[in-house]
Amino acid sequence: MILPKQTPKVPGKLSFAEIFDLLEEKARQYNRPEFIATDPIQIPRQFGQKENIEIAGFLAATIAWGQRPTIIKNANRLMVGMEHDPYSFLMNTGENDWSHFAEFKHRTFNGVDCLFFFKSLKNIYQNYGGLEAVFTDGFLAEGTVAGALRNFRRIFFEVDHQKRSQKHISNIDRGASAKRLNMFLRWMVRKDEAGVDFGIWNRIPMSELLLPLDVHTSRQARQLGLLHRKQDDWRAVLEVSERLREFDPADPVKYDFALFGLGAFESSASPFG
């Protein structure tokens, strides 16, 4: 890869080339199949059918906050309850068959939310051609991932729901970072030889994906000088994603593996040491 024009090294900080080398090294280290065993992406990895991958991935991403073993355990509970065939379960059963999910709970995501999510997903697959079509239509309309997220949220909440459920789908127009939705998009869109992400959606370019910003990635991005905004909000997502494109314009969110790995697994190690 040809490096873009490099900025001079600032005393006490890493140079552009040093940051590039670190990000590349850590992306290679964590973007590999072994990563799957500790990550919620293992949930959609249970399936081969496209629709099952999408639905399982979306539900796993939705509850992906808190301790990773708990996320994985509760996401697997959803898959068991959906008879390990989420698409068929949603499309071939009615709400009366979903009653056992009324007691589901993962942190603040409860049975009310779960049942609404099922109804909305069923509506999307019955009337809009599925999750890929909804996100892609929004992307094509605005030419941005922001457009994809807006369109998805609009359609997702056209089904009757309690207001409490709205907090589980980020609203970027109110400044939310949309970490879980951006992570879901990374899973569905991004594709490389490592084989961690699925890359089964083809009409949203990898180059337009945005970093799933969380406490780990934001902390490391700030330490590396890639993010200056103090809040972990939508503006921060745009800022850091644009910086990551300087290192790889075609695949900026591969560095999610690097930043997350540094933060979650090497938090005692400083890149400035």
* Residues of the chain where predicted confidence (pLDDT) is lower than 70: 1-12, 267-273
- pLDDT value of residue 13: 81
- pLDDT value of residue 234: 98
pLDDT in tens, 126-161: 999 999 999 999 999 999 999 999 999 999 999 999
User: CA 105 → CA 71, 74, 80, 109, 273, distances in Å?
Assistant: 11, 8, 15, 6, 42
Contact 208, 232 (CB under 8 A): no
- pLDDT value of residue 266: 86
Domain residue spans of the chain: 1-30+210-273, 40-207
End-to-end Cα spacing for the chain = 26
For residues 151 and 167, give the distance between their C-alpha atoms in angstroms, rounded to a whole number.
16
- pLDDT value of residue 12: 53
Q: Which CATH architecture has domain 1-30+210-273?
A: Orthogonal Bundle (1.10)
pLDDT in tens, 222-250: 999 999 999 999 999 999 999 999 999 99
- pLDDT value of residue 198: 98
